[in-house]
Amino acid sequence: MIPNNVVVHQQSKVLELSYENGSSYRLPFEFLRVLSPSAEVQGHGPGQETLQTGKRDVLIANLEPVGHYALKPSFSDGHDSGLYSWDYLQYLCENQEQLWKEHLDKLAAAGLDRDAPMNVAGQSCGSH
């Protein structure tokens, strides 16, 4: 499902997606950034994910459409390789609470909190 309206709210740091059926969702920038569909975040297979921290204050510096199938945000921390398909955005909208809980649980299991700085050493997947 393709949203009929997309609004970037810089002050409240949320991306608002509204749909024809009247439903509307507000996805925090931090949520979008830590769940980026990019290989840099997701890895190239199961177990290769890079746990994202220190993204609470991230902003969307630019948001551009990619054809008729996706959005490509450029985040203020320089991350811009994630293509958010309409299907992926809908998945994030519908599962936001559970996905955020899973992210916080992974942080806790790793002994990190969401404001810990990213450890950039050794995080490249080698193809970027």
Domains of the chain in start order, with CATH, are 5-109 (3.30.2020.30)
CB–CB of 7/15 below 8 Å?
Answer: yes
**1 — pLDDT class (breaks 50, 70, 90):** confident
Indicate the SS3 state at residue 75: strand
Give 40-58 pLDDT, tens digit per residue. 999 888 888 899 999 999 9
The 8-class DSSP code of residue 39 comes to H
Is a pLDDT exceeding 90 seen at residue 127?
no
Half-sphere exposure of 122 (CA within 13 A, CB side): 2
Q: What is the mean pLDDT of the chain?
A: 91
Is a pLDDT exceeding 90 seen at residue 38?
yes
Give 60-101 pLDDT, tens digit per residue. 999 999 999 999 999 999 999 999 999 999 999 999 999 999
Which residues neighbour 107 within 8 Å (Cβ) at sequence distance 6 or greater?
Answer: 51, 53, 113, 114, 116
What is the pLDDT at residue 33? 98
Q: Taking residues 98-115, report their average pLDDT.
A: 95
pLDDT > 70 in the chain, percent = 92
